[in-house]
Amino acid sequence: MSASARTVLLVDDDPIMLAFLERAVGASYAVVTKADGAAARDWLLAPEASGEGRADLVVADLQMPGLDGFGFTEAVRADPRTERLPILILSGSDKSEDRIRCLRLGADDFVVKPFNPEELMARIDNLFRRLG
């Protein structure tokens, strides 16, 4: 599957960060944006999302009101349709306990804000490379 045929779901409650992510990731991949974890979960896990239209990878903020990155990751991992979906968590916190908890919940990668957009893209590319 070519890079442009892959879809990345971007989830962040900060509209400035979401626009930044959309520009950076959208240069290489199709993107879908959601402003909170609950909206992203509902979109991913909607009954009609049996395969067509779902994301191939998720980049989600950790600290969001309502359903945070922890809860979002748990919900995605609990559904058989998305249990193997790659998840990269972004966080303004560099606390090792947050990183460990995310990884134990099933996140595939963790990036601390602020970050270099080239590093983020390299991590996304690596996750896709592992998918084949």
> What does the pLDDT look like over 84-122, one tens digit per residue?
999 999 999 999 999 999 999 999 999 999 999 999 999
Evaluate if pTM is beyond 0.95: no
Average of per-residue pLDDT across 66-85: 95
Helix H, strand E, coil C: the string for 23-72 is HHHHCCCEEEEECCHHHHHHHHHCCCCCECECCCEEEEECCCCCCCHHHH
| Residue 90 contacts residue 111 (beta carbons within 8 Å) | yes
Instruction: State yes or no: pLDDT of 132 exceeds 80.
Output: no
Average of per-residue pLDDT across 70-87: 96
Q: Identify the band that residue 54 occupies on the pLDDT scale cut at 50, 70 and 90.
A: confident
**59 φψ region: left (φ > 0), alpha (ψ -120 to 50), beta (else):** beta
Q: Which domains are delineated in the chain?
A: 3-131 (3.40.50.2300)
